[in-house]
């Protein structure tokens, strides 16, 4: 429990024995400690004004614990586990009929029966997406200003957006409040149905994509802000005319490709065409697994697609895609 200056732990959550505990125990122990220390700033130095904005405490601790763990255990690549531990939990909870927004009205303390996966995991996921949109340097600078401006005080979500807006590199295109409002005040999440003619959505979506992986992969970022909007992209021969949508799985949404494109991606991954497995990040590879299985579960894609895609796992050496698929 993150009491200010006096954190309390269960022994099982804090103690690690080098000769008896597993690597997973060590990882969990460090993550819990990092989470609670993060609360000294997000939750204690700056506190949510009311239960409606609880995510300002918990989502930040859930997200920033990854950076803290990576700074201590530099060889773990701990962020590679984010899709397995946070995104997957958030998607599962948020696809339920009982889901709720990250921010919702709470009249009495007794009503604060939040689904933890929404406040913690979805909250962390949209913060990850927001850091990608802003860039790490601008994001961190804005958070520093947010803490300094509100230290020893209480805040609401709009105050976070106000500080982030000051470092918004895309201000001419979209405001932070406009971008993030749908992600925090609506339950559920969008899926992008990609076609060659007319992709549409009703969310403000940071639409990112790779159109080439070599000689280097550079993410392109555009914003979908209208109910009906067409984005024209010239594809590159190095990816056989394909686009990898949602680079590094930074966005909290699903992507449904045309059937022909799913087939091409499956062939490329199963056969490791042009060493594509090493060119795509762990999160990109995991992203295909998550999208295909969740879309199939929703009846938007044949189960033949994720099952065929799973054939590539015989070449996969990282834990996260395997864990998500299983």
Q: Which of 36, 58, 131, 250 is catalytic?
A: 36
- Position 112 pLDDT exceeds 80: no
Which residues does residue 48 pair with via DSSP β-bridges, in sequence order? 155
- Position 108 pLDDT exceeds 60: yes
**Backbone phi, psi, residue 148, to 5°:** -65, -40
Q: Which residue carries 């054939």 as its tokens? A: 311
* Closest-CA residue to 59 (of 126, 112, 110, 14): 126
Pairing of strands 205-210, 244-245: antiparallel
11 is catalytic: no
Q: Say what the pLDDT of residue 213 is.
A: 66
CA-CA distances (angstroms) from residue 59 to 35, 62, 232, 275?
10, 5, 35, 36
Q: What is the DSSP letter of 155?
A: E
Q: Pick from 14-18, 215-219, 309-313 the range whose average pLDDT is largest.
A: 309-313
| Residue-wise pLDDT tens digits, 159-178 | 999 999 999 999 888 899 99
Residues 6+ apart with CB under 8 A from 275: none
Q: Say what the pLDDT of residue 219 is.
A: 72
The Cα 120–Cα 126 span in angstroms is 10
Taking the CA atoms of 269, 293, 183 and 143 in sequence, report the sign of the dihedral they define. negative
Length of the chain: 326
* Closest-CA residue to 245 (of 306, 291, 277): 291
Which of 134-138, 217-221, 287-291, 298-302 has the lowest average pLDDT? Answer: 217-221
CB 164 within 8 A of CB 142: yes
* Closest-CA residue to 234 (of 211, 201, 262, 267): 211
**Backbone phi, psi, residue 207, to 5°:** -90, 110
The CA-based dihedral angle spanning residues 80, 82, 84, 86, taken in that order and rounded to the nearest 10 degrees: 180
- Position 218 pLDDT exceeds 80: no
pTM higher than 0.75 for the full model?
yes
Percent of the chain with pLDDT over 70: 87
Model confidence band, residue 230 (pLDDT cutoffs 50, 70, 90): low
Q: Does an H or E element contain 245, and which?
A: strand 244-245
CB 106 within 8 A of CB 48: no
The Cα 263–Cα 148 span in angstroms is 51
| Residue-wise pLDDT tens digits, 286-299 | 999 999 999 999 99
- Position 209 pLDDT exceeds 60: yes
Q: Which domains does the chain have, with CATH numbers?
A: 11-185 (1.10.390.10), 191-325 (no CATH)
Mean pLDDT score, 39-60: 96
- Position 69 pLDDT exceeds 90: yes
């Amino acid at each position: 429990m993150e009491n200010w200056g006096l954190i309390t732990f269960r022994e099982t959550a804090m103690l690690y024995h080098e000769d008896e505990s597993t690597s997973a125990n060590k990882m969990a122990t460090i993550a819990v400690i990092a989470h609670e220390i993060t609360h000294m700033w997000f939750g204690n130095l700056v506190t949510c004004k009311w239960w409606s904005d609880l995510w300002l405490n918990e989502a930040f601790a859930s997200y920033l614990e990854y950076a803290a763990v990576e700074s201590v255990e530099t060889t773990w690549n701990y962020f590679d586990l984010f899709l397995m531990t946070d995104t997957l939990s958030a998607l599962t909870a948020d696809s339920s009929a009982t889901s709720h927004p990250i921010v919702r009205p709470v009249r009495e303390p007794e009503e604060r029966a939040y689904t933890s996966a929404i406040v913690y995991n979805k909250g962390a996921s949209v913060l990850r997406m927001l850091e990608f949109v802003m860039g790490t340097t601008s994001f961190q600078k804005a958070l520093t200003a947010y803490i300094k401006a509100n230290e020893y005080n209480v805040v609401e979500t709009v105050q976070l957006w106000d500080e982030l807006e000051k470092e918004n590199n895309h201000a001419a295109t979209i405001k932070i409040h406009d971008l993030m409002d749908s992600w925090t005040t609506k339950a559920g999440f969008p899926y992008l149905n990609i076609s060659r003619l007319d992709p549409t959505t009703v969310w403000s979506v940071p639409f990112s994509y790779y159109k080439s992986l070599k000689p280097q992969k550079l993410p392109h970022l555009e914003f979908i802000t209208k109910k009906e909007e067409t984005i024209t992209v010239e594809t590159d021969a190095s990816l056989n005319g394909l686009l990898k949508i949602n680079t590094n799985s930074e966005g909290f949404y699903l992507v449904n490709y045309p059937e022909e494109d799913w087939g091409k991606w499956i062939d490329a991954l199963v056969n490791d065409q042009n060493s594509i497995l090493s060119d795509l990040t762990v999160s990109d590879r995991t992203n295909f697994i998550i999208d295909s299985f969740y879309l199939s579960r929703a009846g938007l894609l044949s189960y033949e697609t994720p099952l065929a895609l799973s054939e590539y796992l015989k070449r996969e050496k990282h834990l996260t895609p395997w864990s998500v698929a299983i």
